[in-house]
Each structure stands twice: as C-alpha cells, then as structure tokens.
C-alpha cells in the first residue's frame, strides 16, 4: 500500500496549485457573476499541459491517468476554481474517444482536448428518463450513410463554450427493448440542434442547457467507434473517470472551504483575547468536516489507482463510494465554513457561501447519492434491485 504520490505527480500538484492560486476564487466568482467563462484559466491550464494529463503523449497529452487528472481537478478546486468542464471534457469525452473511438476520431479530437482548444461536453440526461438511463428516448436513425438524431436532453453543462457534444442516444430498432446506447460526437452548431439556457441557482461560470435535437444529420463517422457495438463499453468507459474527477473536485472544494474558515476562526476575536476557533463549538465542526474530506480523498486515491491499473470493476465500486463521500464531505465543509464565519460567511468577499449551490448540486449530479446507495446496496451488499 502506497499513499505517496510519485515525484512527477507531486510536481504536477504543486504546479496546478500555483496556477489555481494565481487566479483564485475571486476570479471564478467574478466570471460567474458577469456571465462569462473561465476561458483564460482554461486556456492557460491547457497550454501548460494540465488538461491533457490523462491523454496519450502521441496525441499531445501527458500520458498519465485519471490519478493525474484527479489531482488537477482537486487542486484547482482547492484554489477556489472548481471547473466542472474538467469532468466532462478531459475526463469523460477524452477517455471515451481514446478508449473506444476510431483512429480518425482520436486524431481529430484528442490533441485539441489535450491543449484545451477543443471542448467536448456530455449529454445523457433526459427530462423523462432522469436517473433511469434505460428509458433514454433520444433516437438515432440511419438515413443512407448518415445518421439522424432526435430527442431532448436536459441540464447539459457547457454547451455554449464547447465545439462538440457527446450525445448518448439509442438505436431505433432497439427503441422498445433494452438500452442499446450509441454515442455520437455532434458539433454544437449542427443544424437541427438548438438549446435554451436553464436558470440554475448555482454561482458558476459554467451553464446548464436544455438541448433539442430535431433530425440532426450526422455523417457516419460521428458515431463513436467502428460499429454500434462500441456504444455500451464506450458509455461505461466514461463513468468511472467522471465519478473520480467529480469527487476530486468536491474534495478540493471542501479543502478550500475549511482552509478559508480555519484562517478566519484562528484570528477572529470577539471574547477578549481568545480566537473564536479556540471554542470547540466552532473548531470541532471544522475538524469533523476536515476528517470527512480526508476520508473522501483516500477513497478517491484508491479509486483512481484501481482505475489506472485497469481494474475497472473494483474502480467502479470505489469510484462510486468516492463520489458519494466527497459529495457529502464538500457540502458539509462549505456549510460548516459558512457557519464558522458568521455573517462574513454569507458575504461574497469571504468566498464560501458562493459555493453553496455548487456543493449542493454535487449531491445530485452527475449521479445522485441515492443512485450510488442503490449501486452499493446491490453490488456490495448483495441486495435485490429495487427498481
Ligand atoms: C449542475 C448540474 C450539472 C449537470 N450537468 C450534466 C451534464 O453535463 N450532462 C448530463 O447529461 N447531465 C447533467 N446533469 C444532470 C444530472 O446528471 C441529473 O440531474 C442527475 O443524474 C439526476 O437526474 P434527475 O435530475 O432527472 O433526477 P430524477 O431521476 O428525477 O431523481 C429525482 C430524485 O429522486 C431520486 N431517485 C430517482 N430514482 C431513484 C431510485 N431508484 N432510488 C432512490 N432514489 C431515486 C434521485 O436520487 C433524486 O434525488 C447535471 C445536473 C446538474 C444539477
């Protein structure tokens, strides 16, 4: 058992931390409040190679794994910049294309994903299906060599800043049976693809959208992989990286909030000479949250290590547990930090309440805590499936 990072991973962590701190939470909040994106930070992270750490070197990436990408997600979040699109573009899209795309798709997309000049977002959720992906209603029909895609997607993050969206559809002949997913790389400006922005109560530079696909015509090579058989493994390939990196983002956010609160409570004095942090009613909740965040980090490390070792089934269990633990820990840490700061906790200036919406959403997306508990009950505890 090894809890140490390699020297290269340590260097990566330090370098990403330095980059994140140069921008900081005030940058993230300013962009979110003005309705802009974190383009400058994204581009710089791309130029420095941090967005492509998990992409093979032959495509301009760093040749590392999800362990490295999780470090990037965690450190940027720990600096107050939890970039949700890291979870969809380099974690999901790059993994799916690298593992199950054609050679041509790898060449077309991976270099841009690695240097940050290309963003591919991910669309699986649908209004009627929700957590039940077996009910997906977005259908792909053949029309000669082309494909025609029709359906609706909801809560899709970052469509306005991406060149492509990786759409999970089902093939028409399987429409009434079990899900036979097929993944398509769809240009965000494709005729027939329209979007409307959702008003979300999350302070974030990244937006969520409803997507309407109305007979979107795609060439044959928009289908991920050589044939329809690639669909199911391609879809599953994206899940573990998604869970592990979103967990890392949660853990980083938790660290950020606890650090802000600890600095404050160690110096704030309202009862004579003693800091408010000397009162256990203030310090213990923060210490408790710190324990929860650290436990989540351990599980993230385990899940990423298993995933990078090719042990997908075990990584699936650990990745789900990591996502659950980090989602809960992040929400607890931010809420506890707000409380510890008192009125200051609710100001924009102190930069903790600004994360309340994001960490709350982290208990719902990309997979809800209930669906993870269902998974653990079934696959770890051997319980019958309830749905
Ligand atoms: C900020 C944000 C960003 C998102 N970004 C994306 C994105 O980029 N791409 C994308 O495809 N999707 C995205 N989503 C969607 C997200 O993945 C879904 O919201 C999530 O999977 C839950 O689906 P739902 O909202 O339809 O909830 P529902 O399925 O309607 O569930 C509602 C509630 O019921 C619970 N529930 C449902 N079924 C069960 C069951 N069998 N047992 C126990 N409890 C159950 C759920 O856990 C949840 O609490 C995003 C969502 C948010 C909030």
CA 364 to ligand 1 centroid distance, Å = 6
Atom of ligand 1 nearest to the CA of 369: 47
- 115-141 average pLDDT score: 95
CA 1 to ligand 1 centroid distance, Å = 35
Residue 174 confidence (pLDDT): 53
Beta-bridge partner residues of 212 = 152, 194
Atom of ligand 1 nearest to the CA of 387: 41
CA 289 to ligand 1 centroid distance, Å = 25
Residue 387 confidence (pLDDT): 82
* C-alpha separations of 122 from 4, 90, 159, 211 in Å: 33, 11, 9, 11
Phi, psi of 372 (to 5 degrees): -70, -40
Residue 178 confidence (pLDDT): 65
* C-alpha separations of 359 from 27, 199, 213, 254 in Å: 18, 17, 30, 9
Q: Is 128 in the pocket of ligand 1 (CB under 6 A)?
A: no
Q: Is 264 in the pocket of ligand 1 (CB under 6 A)?
A: no
Nearest alpha carbon, ligand 1 atom 35: 370
Q: Is 176 a residue whose pLDDT tops 60? A: no
Pocket-testing residue among 91, 368, 378, 383, ligand 1, by greatest number of atoms within 8 A of Cβ = 368
Query: How many residues in total does the chain contain?
Result: 387
Q: Is 93 in the pocket of ligand 1 (CB under 6 A)?
A: no
Phi, psi of 3 (to 5 degrees): -100, 0
The maximal CA–CA distance of the chain, rounded, in angstroms, is 80
In a 13 Å sphere around the CA of 264, the CA atoms on its Cβ side amount to: 22
Nearest alpha carbon, ligand 1 atom 28: 130
Nearest alpha carbon, ligand 1 atom 22: 131
pLDDT confidence of 177, banded at 50, 70, 90? low
Nearest alpha carbon, ligand 1 atom 25: 130
> How many angstroms separate the CA atoms of 305 and 291, rounded?
21
Residue 134 confidence (pLDDT): 86
User: In 3D, which of 161, 163, 168 has the Cα closest to residue 187?
Assistant: 163
Please state the three-class secondary structure of 264-317 as a single string.
HHHHCEEECCEEHHHCHHHHHHHHHHHHHHHHHHHHHHHHHHHHHCCCHHHHHH
- 341-355 average pLDDT score: 98
Residue 133 confidence (pLDDT): 87
- Kindly report, residue by residue over 267-319, the tens digit of the pLDDT: 999 999 999 999 999 999 999 999 999 999 999 999 999 999 999 999 999 99
Q: Is 361 in the pocket of ligand 1 (CB under 6 A)?
A: yes
Query: What does the angle CA 15 – CA 161 – CA 181 come to, to the nearest 5 degrees?
Result: 100
Q: Is 355 in the pocket of ligand 1 (CB under 6 A)?
A: no
> DSSP labels for 179-248?
--EEEEEEETT-TTEEEEE---SS--SS-EEEEEEEEEEE-GGGBSSSSGGGHHHHHHHHHHHHHHHHHH
Q: Which residue has the tokens 């690695």?
A: 114
- Kindly report, residue by residue over 360-387, the tens digit of the pLDDT: 999 999 999 999 999 999 999 999 998 8
CA 360 to ligand 1 centroid distance, Å = 12
Structural element, H or E, at residue 147? strand 146-157
**Are the C-beta atoms of residues 300 and 244 closer than 8 Å to each other?**
yes
Q: Is 157 in the pocket of ligand 1 (CB under 6 A)?
A: yes
Ordered alpha helix ranges (H), 34-86: 39-47, 66-78, 85-86
- Kindly report, residue by residue over 236-271, the tens digit of the pLDDT: 999 999 999 999 999 999 999 999 999 999 999 999
> Tokens in use for 125?
């959720």
Long-range contacts of 126-134 (CB under 8 A, 24+ apart): 126/151, 126/152, 126/153, 126/154, 127/152, 127/154, 127/210, 131/367, 131/368, 131/370, 131/371, 132/387, 133/168, 133/179, 134/178, 134/179
């Amino acid at each position: 058992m090894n809890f140490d990072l390699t020297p290269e991973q340590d260097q990566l962590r330090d370098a990403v931390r330095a980059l994140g701190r140069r921008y900081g939470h005030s940058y993230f909040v300013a962009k979110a409040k003005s309705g802009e994106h974190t383009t400058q930070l994204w581009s710089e992270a791309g130029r420095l190679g941090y967005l492509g750490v998990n992409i093979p070197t032959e495509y301009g990436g760093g040749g590392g794994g999800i362990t490295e990408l999780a470090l990037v997600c965690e450190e940027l979040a720990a600096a107050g910049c939890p970039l949700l699109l890291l979870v969809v573009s380099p974690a999901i899209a790059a993994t799916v294309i690298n593992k199950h795309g054609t050679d041509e798709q790898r060449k077309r997309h991976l270099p841009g994903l690695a240097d940050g000049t290309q963003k591919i977002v991910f669309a699986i959720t649908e209004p009627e299906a929700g957590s039940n992906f077996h009910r997906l209603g977005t259908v792909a029909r053949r029309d000669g060599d082309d494909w025609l895609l029709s359906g609706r997607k909801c809560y899709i993050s970052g469509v306005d800043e991406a060149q492509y969206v990786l759409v999970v559809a089902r093939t028409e002949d399987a429409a009434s049976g079990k899900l036979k997913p097929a993944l398509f790389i769809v240009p965000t400006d494709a005729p027939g693809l329209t979007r409307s922005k959702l008003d979300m109560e999350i302070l974030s530079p990244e937006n969520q959208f409803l997507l309407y696909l109305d007979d979107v015509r795609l060439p044959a090579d928009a289908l991920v992989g050589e044939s329809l058989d690639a669909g199911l493994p391609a879809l599953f390939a994206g899940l573990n990286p998604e869970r592990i990196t979103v967990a890392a983002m949660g853990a980083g956010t938790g660290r950020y909030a606890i650090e802000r609160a600890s600095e404050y409570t160690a110096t704030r004095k309202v009862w004579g000479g003693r800091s408010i942090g000397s009162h256990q009613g203030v310090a213990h909740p923060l210490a408790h949250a710190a324990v929860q965040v650290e436990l989540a980090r351990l599980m993230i490390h385990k899940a990423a290590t298993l995933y990078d070792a090719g042990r997908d089934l075990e990584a699936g269990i650990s990745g789900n547990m990591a996502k659950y633990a980090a989602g809960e820990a992040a929400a607890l840490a931010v809420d506890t930090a707000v409380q510890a700061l008192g009125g200051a906790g609710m100001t924009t200036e102190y930069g903790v309440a600004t994360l309340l919406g994001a960490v709350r959403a982290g208990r719902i997306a990309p997979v809800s805590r209930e669906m993870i508990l269902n998974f653990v009950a079934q696959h770890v505890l051997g319980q019958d499936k309830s749905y």
